[in-house]
Structure 1
Amino acid sequence: MFRTFRPADRVALLVPGSAAYADFVLLATRQGVVPVPIDPQLTDRERRAVLDDVEPVLVVTTPEELAEAAEALEPDPPSPVPLVRPMHLTSGTTGAPKGVWSGLLTPERAQALVAEERDLWRFTGSDAHLVLSPLHHSAPLRFSLGTLLAGGRLVVPGPFDPDAVTRAIVRQRPTTMFCVPAHLQRLFAHWDEVGVPDLSCFRLVAHAGAACPPPVKQRLLELFPPRTTWEFYGSTEGQFTACRSEEWAAHPGTVGRARPGRSLSVDGDGTIWCVVPEHARFSYWRAREKTAACWRDTDRGSAFTVGDLGRLDDEGYLYLAGRREDLVITGGVNVYPVEVENVLGGHPAVRDVAVFGVGDEHWGQRVCAAVVGEATAEELASYAAERLAPPKRPKSYFRLDALPRTATGKVKRLELPGLLGLDD
């Protein structure tokens, strides 16, 4: 085991999330050591590929090793705030996972990074943050670190289980929570059976990671205290928007306007760009071409994109249309799955839906929909015919008990054809 670390040393974390995990990340980043949070469920082959690229000085695979690594850190680093961002890996759905690298931050930029999160989410020493998602993902770790930096505490019930989460709410009275829509759907279904707990303790509930079905969003507004629920749009690379649910109700389908200190623009092809302050710049680890492709200079500053598509209305509200790799081209017409999902998700007998394309000899691709719920194919076809132009209407509907999702709640859209036997 290492007894000392140097700034910019990378430490690969292949252990489940815990309070000790977050404590280690905070202590390490305050002295410039770079935690690399990695999904501990990776296969050996996936793990080797990531580690060969990252080249960590230490690989932590057990809670005991995590405790030993913590002992090798300075107990009281000179910087009160992180001097580096954890190097998270992007999902890799379009290729090998890429590390998102911020470099070592100057003290001024380090302070600005912490202040931006603190000022937006109003972290305080009285906060108790409920951790629902794995901490190797960027958003749950970011909310956890923001809470700890403000002097608050974490509530970590373990792997997501609606009953365990409900008990934690009742017994520990958390004040904040980050979640994905899939968490909300499972919690609401559980509360329909056992009753809704007292949620008055919450001052902030933020969700992101996937499109939220309108019925779930409406239930969120109804159950939690007024002006406590938020949606935001961001990525492993950086954050774009934040939006109170009340704003969403006034602008249905939006993911909000640009966060303070940032600005948005959309190209003619729909690609979303975000101008960020210097403390939010990043590169892809050992991938200069990929880094260069995602950045450009504007008259307002440096802007980045992750390839997502959308539109801005006259008031600056952003509406997502999907990711470029999700694009379905049928008969030469571009169809964005998120747009179709937002429509079908409004059917009262649809609990969840994912739209995807499969090869078609005549059209190139045809639009298909995997649906969770009681709606029949005939009912959905009629519903879509009233709300979508012909190219956007799914040609086939498939019923599933649940959609395949990542740990952060994103639908594994590219896996659906194989799951349904459509990839032959």
Structure 2
Amino acid sequence: MPDTGLWKIAEQDPDRTAVVDPDGAQVDYATLAARADRYGRGLQSAGLRPGDSIVVQLPNGIDLLACYFAAMQTGLYVVTVNWHLVADEIAYIIGDSRAAVFIAHERFADTAQQAAEQAGIAPAARFSVGEVAGFRPLDELGADEPAGRPDVRTTGSPMLYTSGTTGKPKGVRRPLSGGDPDEVPAAARWFFGIFGLEPFDGHVHLCGSPLYHTAVLNFVSHSIQFGHTAVLMDKWEPEEMLRLIEKHRVTHTHMVPTQFRRLLALDEEVRGRYDVSSMRAAIHGAAPCPPEVKRAMLDWWGPVVVEYYAATEGGGTSIGAEEWLRKPGSVGTAWPGATVKVLDDDKNELPAGEIGTVYLRMGGSSFEYHGDERKTSESRAGDLFTIGDVGYLDEDGYLFLRDRKSDMIISGGVNIYPAEVENVLAVHPEVADVAVFGVPHDDWGEQVKAVVQPARPPAGSGLAEDLLEFARERLAKFKVPRSVDFVDELPRDPNGKLYKRRLRDPYWADRSADI
């Protein structure tokens, strides 16, 4: 059995399949490592040095993974940007991350061109998979460099974007470790161990979600580092997932509850057509899972459904199937080496059973919100941090979440930050005040609702459509409200604080037992 790590496996077992592309093409370790080396050499010849950043706007596939591993072996920060974003949003991330290179796919040509221009990325630093006007073919990156490993090799880091205090996303930027990229970090093996996943061991990972998500990228990259073949889907479809599980004898995957719902909605005959007995761990997180949905998946797939609660910033909990049946509704106990505490508003620890703000810590790890010292500071309580979730710990240390973050909407496992949507709608001349929040949706969990105080009441359906069109021109599709309601006045206190719960609660009234 070879050692772990992409480059060691490529040397010792070069023909082992690393990735199955969405088109079915199989890519071995030697090919993936060689491409990552070539791109790494190209980035260094372009002048990038450890601590610099690149932004990647690519769909799931070998090109994205080769760029990722190129950055990870040359000490770069790699931002896998959400390709649903509009040009303004991508340009902001390019600028905020101080990216020196932008790599995009022809599928997103119009958005990529606009974003590159707005961000001021030099033409020589723009690369594309397929044809994008003004971009160089990605195949040219490193093509003229001598074969072999990049000259400077040190471990890089993903830089994922999350919410900021102004409604703009903020990059979670960790200090570079200075480690050897040939060595798989102990934390990666520890993390997979939480879910019973060991190196090699016949494992095959199925990726059905976009690799711009933190957890999705981690699961795929770790799988490759541990000798697990990663099977990639371009677009998730329930029956196609079942077909791939059977064909490739998939052992583990990372999912969100919306996918569970859609699998369960298949006809019994379709579900029974595929053999899913190879599955060892169906790992889910990112959004609350209704108990009845989880029980149905356990009845179908057996005790392989594992839940976790975590943050991009670090730390979390997990709970296995049998544990969950004993503690239904819990998101589990703290990971080994992690700390979970519930604090009151004065940041004092609360006893078991009392509801407060959930704080986390993962060993001695640290992070900052890039360019947002205020958000970094406000999230801290000593060496603990919070993302604003509310819940309680029971007497056995199991965490139960009793409220969502006060503002964030989770729709189909995707985080949507209302402040960003509010900032767009607030500048419309017919809007005096606006609040955006999530309301129940049977399939997606939540959908985006806007409640508007019109500048000149009464407001009608024509204004609602005008506002939605206004938002569509300025926001990614998944952030655009699905509907607009009107009120005479939004509930604010004398200091201007919005009582958003007063607006949101009536929409959730008949779902309260599930929250």
What's the TM-score, normalizing by structure 1?
A: 0.73
Partners of 1:230 and 1:242 within 8 A in 2? yes
Rounded to whole Å, the distance in 1 between the matches of 2:257 and 2:374 is 34
Relative to structure 1, is the Cα distance of residues 35 and 212 closer, same or farther in structure 2, using a 3 angstrom cutoff? same
Could you tell me which residue of structure 2 aligns to residue 289 of structure 1? 374
Could you tell me which residue of structure 2 aligns to residue 119 of structure 1? 193
Q: Deviations over 1:364-401 (max 9, x none)?
A: x9x996453xxxxxxxxxxxxxxxxxxxxxxxxxxxxx
Q: Give runs of aligned pairs for residues 358-397 of structure 1, distance below 5 A.
A: 370=440, 372=442
Task: Answer yes or no: is 1:318 the counterpart of 2:399.
Answer: yes
Task: Answer yes or no: is 1:264 the counterpart of 2:356.
Answer: no
Could you tell me which residue of structure 2 aligns to residue 180 of structure 1? 256
Rounded to whole Å, the distance in 1 between the matches of 2:237 and 2:92 is 31
Relative to structure 1, is the Cα distance of residues 16 and 293 closer, same or farther in structure 2, using a 3 angstrom cutoff? same
Q: 1:83 aligns with which of 139, 155, 158?
A: 155
CA displacement at 1:237 relative to structure 2: 1.7
CA displacement at 1:210 relative to structure 2: 0.6
Q: 2:70 aligns with which of 27, 31, 34?
A: 27
Q: Please, which moves more after superposition, 216-225 or 312-321? A: 216-225
Code of the residue aligned with 1:166 in structure 2: it is L
Rounded to whole Å, the distance in 1 between the matches of 2:375 and 2:258 is 31
Could you tell me which residue of structure 1 aligns to residue 291 of structure 2? 214
Partners of 1:123 and 1:147 within 8 A in 2? no
Relative to structure 1, is the Cα distance of residues 150 and 212 closer, same or farther in structure 2, using a 3 angstrom cutoff? same
CA RMSD of aligned residues (A): 3.2
Task: Answer yes or no: is 1:168 the counterpart of 2:220.
Answer: no
Q: Deviations over 1:259-288 (max 9, x none)?
A: 11011110125111112212x321111211
Q: Give runs of aligned pairs for residues 56-75 of structure 1, distance below 5 A.
A: 56-62=99-105, 63-64=129-130, 65-69=137-141
Could you tell me which residue of structure 2 aligns to residue 305 of structure 1? 386
For 1:58, what is the secondary structure of its paired residue? strand
CA displacement at 1:162 relative to structure 2: 1.6
Code of the residue aligned with 1:45 in structure 2: it is D
How many pairs were matched up?
A: 347
CA displacement at 1:323 relative to structure 2: 3.3
Give the gaps of 5 or more residues in structure 2.
1-41, 106-128, 131-136, 346-355, 411-417, 419-434, 453-480, 488-515
Q: Deviations over 1:98-120 (max 9, x none)?
A: 10111201439973332322332
Partners of 1:27 and 1:73 within 8 A in 2? no
Relative to structure 1, is the Cα distance of residues 371 and 14 closer, same or farther in structure 2, using a 3 angstrom cutoff? closer
Code of the residue aligned with 1:421 in structure 2: it is V
Q: Deviations over 1:235-257 (max 9, x none)?
A: 22223111112211111110000
Rounded to whole Å, the distance in 2 between the matches of 1:25 and 1:266 is 36
Code of the residue aligned with 1:40 in structure 2: it is W
Partners of 1:36 and 1:87 within 8 A in 2? yes
For 1:57, what is the secondary structure of its paired residue? strand
Partners of 2:449 and 2:482 within 8 A in 1? no
Could you tell me which residue of structure 2 aligns to residue 104 of structure 1? 176
Rounded to whole Å, the distance in 1 between the matches of 2:151 and 2:198 is 22
CA displacement at 1:326 relative to structure 2: 3.9
Rounded to whole Å, the distance in 1 between the matches of 2:171 and 2:146 is 23
Rounded to whole Å, the distance in 1 between the matches of 2:211 and 2:97 is 19
Relative to structure 1, is the Cα distance of residues 200 and 103 closer, same or farther in structure 2, using a 3 angstrom cutoff? same
For 2:90, what is the secondary structure of its paired residue? helix
For 2:387, what is the secondary structure of its paired residue? coil
Q: Deviations over 1:156-197 (max 9, x none)?
A: 121111232122112112111000000111122125351232
Between structure 1 and structure 2, the one with the greater Rg is: 2
Identity %: 29
Could you tell me which residue of structure 2 aligns to residue 381 of structure 1? none
Q: Deviations over 1:328-387 (max 9, x none)?
A: xxxxxxxxx99xxxxxxxxxxxxxxxxx9xxxxxxxx9x996453xxxxxxxxxxxxxxx
What's the TM-score, normalizing by structure 2?
A: 0.61
Relative to structure 1, is the Cα distance of residues 371 and 86 closer, same or farther in structure 2, using a 3 angstrom cutoff? closer
Give the gaps of 5 or more residues in structure 1.
328-336, 339-355, 357-364, 373-401, 404-409
Could you tell me which residue of structure 1 aligns to residue 330 of structure 2? 254
Rounded to whole Å, the distance in 1 between the matches of 2:318 and 2:80 is 25
Code of the residue aligned with 1:54 in structure 2: it is S
Code of the residue aligned with 2:446 in structure 1: it is V
Rounded to whole Å, the distance in 1 between the matches of 2:310 and 2:238 is 26
Code of the residue aligned with 1:294 in structure 2: it is S
Relative to structure 1, is the Cα distance of residues 371 and 225 closer, same or farther in structure 2, using a 3 angstrom cutoff? closer
Code of the residue aligned with 1:105 in structure 2: it is S
Q: Deviations over 1:275-331 (max 9, x none)?
A: 2212x321111211211222232xxxx21111111111111100112234249xxxx
Could you tell me which residue of structure 1 aligns to residue 482 of structure 2? 419
Rounded to whole Å, the distance in 1 between the matches of 2:299 and 2:90 is 43
Rounded to whole Å, the distance in 2 between the matches of 1:68 and 1:304 is 43
CA displacement at 1:92 relative to structure 2: 6.2
Rounded to whole Å, the distance in 2 between the matches of 1:288 and 1:50 is 17
CA displacement at 1:93 relative to structure 2: 9.8
Code of the residue aligned with 2:297 in structure 1: it is L
Rounded to whole Å, the distance in 1 between the matches of 2:251 and 2:451 is 37
Rounded to whole Å, the distance in 2 between the matches of 1:247 and 1:264 is 18
Relative to structure 1, is the Cα distance of residues 368 and 413 closer, same or farther in structure 2, using a 3 angstrom cutoff? closer
Code of the residue aligned with 1:104 in structure 2: it is L
Q: Deviations over 1:220-249 (max 9, x none)?
A: 2112243x2200001222231111122111
Partners of 1:123 and 1:146 within 8 A in 2? no
For 1:289, what is the secondary structure of its paired residue? helix
